[in-house]
Amino acid sequence: MAEKKKVRVPIIRMEQLEDAIYDMTIEEKEMAAAAKAGQFLSLYLDDESRLLPRPISICGIDKEAGTIRMVFRIAGEGTRQISCLKAGDSIEVLGPLGNGFFDTEDKVSMVIGGGIGIPPMLGLAKKLHAEGKKVIAVLGYRDAKNFLAKEFEEVAEVVIATEDGSVGVKGNVIDAIKAKGLTADTVYSCGPTPMLRGVKAFAESAGIACQISLEEKMACGIGACLACVCKSKDKDHHSNVNNKRICKDGPVFFAQEVEL
């Protein structure tokens, strides 16, 4: 496999969706051709005081146009600087990195996203819909600022949970699943660890196959530094301990592979 290299790419779109939530599209044909739902890109700043890249999940892939879309939240100074870029600017990018969601033969797919774990599920929902599968999207928000929900409605049956009860079911995604009596052949999920823990328990109790995408702070993004590990059932051949590198072995895992 050819080693991936940093490439300076043009930004063709940058919009603010909500407070601190930005929608960015870059153009790079080879990168888009290789990308899969569930993978991420490492973005580098033109700031010598910030050498480490910022990992951002892929939200959408247009292989024909050669573009990749990312929706991200400002989490610190690095992502704040990225949010200040605009269409016509350029940025150094490495990717696509990690593994994406695994193909299955399911007929009914449930994609579950919480917070900034929602954007990568949109690209997956579109892919599953294009394959002719029924898609149920369960989306968890803090409040009525339900970014991307309208786009999910184009390809999925959408169920929303909000912490304050302003939209949909009051509570979390598991509350919404139980309230609506939802089920599927396979569950796919991305979001904060407490949510993923609940999704894994729900899938296990219902006997449903489950894939989860883990969120974690990363340093190198290519599996060399062991800064983003999670506990695993099996020993990692790289470190010979019960760890998996989220950036390299993940970010997508079968739920039974990892401990949350």
pLDDT tens string 224-237? 545 555 555 555 55
Pairing status of strand 108-114 against strand 134-141: parallel
Rounded to whole angstroms, how far apart are CA atoms 11 and 206? 43
For residue 127, what are the CA distances in angstroms to 30, 54, 94, 153, 224? Answer: 19, 25, 23, 14, 31
The average confidence (pLDDT) of the chain is 89
Structure tokens at 173: 């995604």
According to CATH, what is the number of the domain 216-251?
2.10.240
Planar angle of CA 218, 223, 226, nearest 5 degrees: 65
Write down the CATH superfamily of domain 7-97: Translation factors (2.40.30.10)
How are beta strands 21-27 and 134-141 bridged, if at all?
unpaired
pLDDT at position 174 is: 98
Q: What is the mean pLDDT of residues 202-216?
A: 91
Residue 113 host element (H or E): strand 108-114
Q: Answer whether CATH 3.30.70.360 is correct for domain 108-215.
A: no
At residue 218, the pLDDT reads: 47
Q: What is the pLDDT of residues 178-196, one digit of tens each?
A: 999 999 999 999 999 999 9
Q: How many CB atoms lie within 10 A of CB 63?
A: 12
Residue 1 has pLDDT above 50, yes or no: no
Query: Where exactly are the structural domains of the chain?
Result: 7-97, 108-215, 216-251
